[in-house]
Chain A
């Protein structure tokens, strides 16, 4: 880990995690959802091989549910026009069918951003069309791929306000817009909307800069939204980007994460569920738990540094199988007030690494940022 990132982590820890502070003690982490429900056999192996890792994925939000319920998460579908890429379409169809087939049904679906790949009207409308299969209420937050062709115009027409809140059976849910407040990198260079979108759509690009952020106005809105909420009651926040600093060169963060945590600090039970990273992730900062979700489109390797120590890594995927390392998530709020997050990773018996060779960082690597987009002819 670089010295700079290490310094930031230490600062984050000292500010938000004084001795004894961590997510609520009543949060019980069990093996139950450690694996796909249909694959109980793997559990013993996982427990033995990685007993020193905390078991993730099961978040118990005490006093959460007035009644048991489920909800589902799909994100990062990155749809191209149907004529160009049918694989991505097929995977959204599969996710939608599986969400709709949940029994008992989910109360609602969260779509966590990056419905489209290049923000085209055709791509966004295709996404809406495919998700019509899901009849339960749907709530959408935007991703950067949805936004930067027309600066959110079409997305707004289709889905309305990008940030929102609602209460459901004793839990306050908040959806954040972490993508629309990117610094203007296009005007001075006279970029076309397509060029602007192209840079934004390149994860390892160097032109779009630190675009991920919540913004002072939205922080104020979040503070106001939470003002009347009992500080011991659970809060679940949905965002496209993680609300901590994981790896800024790929915008695996929001640049104003410190301010976000200042707003959330008084609340004892906060869970952040986020997309963007296309990988299994887990972290705790102060009283906040963060959990990263899979994409349906393609998985990303873990960043070269900064992977939270509490993350039990997902298994190294087979690039020859378009259904490997991707999927959706089922979140089950049980009668016992536990909230289980289950990764539905297609084509896999085991979601998590089983041996060092299963980790994508088994081959150690030192990598460097790209250069060609800085030589672009602007």
Chain B
């Protein structure tokens, strides 16, 4: 009694899935940005990333010219301290452990929240826009420095 409807239902689902797969195969390659990636493109992508890492490295190490150029020259620190003074090679920044409950803030926090907390508390500076270029560069440097670290989200 129940076999027939189930069988029909199975057929319907299979047909639907097959149609979607066929559409993906036929339509996908015809859409934009789906050409095989070239070595030149990879180089450009990598260079764009490493430029952010480089800028983040300089900000992290207190380079005033870079901070000025990125509009955060008076924000990042007001004590002379730079991020790298407590975090050489970005050690102990633990980007792989975010997001998590951050005890110092007593709230669930992202890495960007933590960067701003460090700017505001130990460095006695002023929070920067979480979407700013400077924040993205700091995030790029910190995560790049921890390349190879295993994701442990939520880890204290």
Q: Using a CB–CB distance below 8 Å, which chain A residues touch chain B?
A: 80, 84-85, 87, 117, 202-205, 249-250, 298-301, 303-304, 318-320, 322, 357, 360, 362-373, 375
Contacts and interface: CB of A to CB of B under 8 A. Distances in A.
Contacts of A368: 89, 144-145, 147-148
B110 to A, nearest CB: 16
Given A84-B79, A363-B94, A367-B90, A372 B149 contact: no
Given A249-B89, A365-B91, A368-B147, 10 more contacts: A84-B79, A300-B86, A301-B87, A319-B121, A363-B155, A365-B146, A368-B89, A368-B144, A370-B89, A371-B54
Contacts of B90: 367
Main secondary structure of the interface of B (DSSP, over half): loop
A117 B155 contact: no
Contacts of B144: 368
B81 interface: yes
Contact of A204 (B54, B84, B122, B155): B84
B121 A202 contact: no
A367 B146 contact: yes
Q: How large is the interface on B (under 10, 10 to 19, 20 to 34, 35 or more residues)?
A: 35 or more
Main secondary structure of the interface of A (DSSP, over half): loop
Among B54, B91, B104, B150, chain A packs the most CB atoms within 10 A around the CB of B91
B96 interface: yes
Interface of B: 53-54, 57-58, 61, 63, 79-81, 84-92, 94, 96-97, 104, 118, 121-122, 144-150, 152, 155-156
9 contacts: A84-B79, A85-B81, A203-B88, A249-B89, A319-B86, A363-B94, A364-B150, A365-B94, A367-B90
